[in-house]
Amino acid sequence: MPHKLSDIRLKHLGWAKKEDRMAKFKRYRELDPDGTYGSTEQYQSILDENPNLVRFEE
């Protein structure tokens, strides 16, 4: 799949709140229980209590 580089930066808040992570995990597991369209390891990583996050510099 082709791609292009950009100077646009996005601040991803998907791991900001525990309840958001739980909702995301449940939604992914409900929609793709066997990991057919995604990675079950990635789904499990949503529950990681200490994710490897990179500080966003404004």
User: In angstroms, what is the C-alpha Rg of the chain?
Assistant: 14
- Percent of the chain exceeding pLDDT 90 equals 52
Helices (H), the chain: 18-31, 40-45
pLDDT at 40: 93
The encoded tokens of residue 32 equal: 């793709």
Helix (H, G, I), strand (E, B) or coil at 43: helix
Residue 31 CB-density burial (10 A; 0-12 exposed, 13-18 middle, 19+ buried): exposed
pLDDT at 57: 86
pLDDT at 36: 96
Q: What is the pLDDT of residues 1-56, one digit of tens each?
A: 688 889 898 888 888 889 999 999 999 999 999 999 999 999 999 999 888 888 88
